[in-house]
């Protein structure tokens, strides 16, 4: 049980009467019955966003270490604004090892080494 302030209490539903004062119920369909639930199980919603981390992008597209991950990032189309051409947005790739990152790491290590050898 959470003791911190601001944490919502979990309302569990297991064959009991649900309170009429609840505004939201968080439910998960565990097992589907004979019929479809209209608006829930009869349609499939595509994921809105793709992966952001390098390893997960590589896993999704089955890439090797030598492939350029930036070519495979999932771009999200933005709505068009009065006459301008359509734009897309892509996430900043996390844990992406680039030459600039290697150079920065080398520089920091050299500075550390220089500080200790005075």
Give tens-digit pLDDT for 19-33. Answer: 777 777 777 888 888
Cα(9)–Cα(2) distance, integer angstroms? 8
Closest-CA residue to 14 (of 30, 1, 3, 2): 30
pLDDT digits (tens, 9 = 90+) for 43-76: 888 888 899 999 999 999 999 999 999 999 999 9
- In this model, does residue 113 exceed pLDDT 60? yes
The neighbouring-strand residues paired with 89 are 76
- Tokens 């301008």 belong to which residue? 84
Judge residue 57's burial from the number of C-beta atoms within 10 Å of its C-beta, 0-12 exposed, 13-18 middle, 19 or more buried. buried
- Tokens 């051409």 belong to which residue? 85
pLDDT digits (tens, 9 = 90+) for 83-98: 888 899 999 999 999 9
């Amino acid at each position: 049980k959470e003791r911190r302030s601001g944490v919502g209490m979990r309302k569990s539903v297991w064959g009991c009467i649900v309170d009429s004062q609840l505004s939201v119920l968080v439910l998960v369909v565990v097992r589907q019955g004979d019929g479809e639930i209209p608006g829930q199980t009869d349609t499939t919603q595509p994921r809105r966003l793709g992966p952001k981390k390098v390893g997960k992008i590589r896993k999704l597209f089955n890439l090797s270490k030598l492939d350029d991950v930036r070519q495979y990032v999932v771009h999200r189309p933005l709505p068009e604004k009065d006459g301008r051409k359509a734009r897309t947005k892509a996430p900043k790739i996390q844990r992406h090892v680039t030459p600039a990152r290697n150079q920065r790491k080398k520089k920091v290590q050299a500075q550390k080494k220089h500080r200790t050898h005075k």
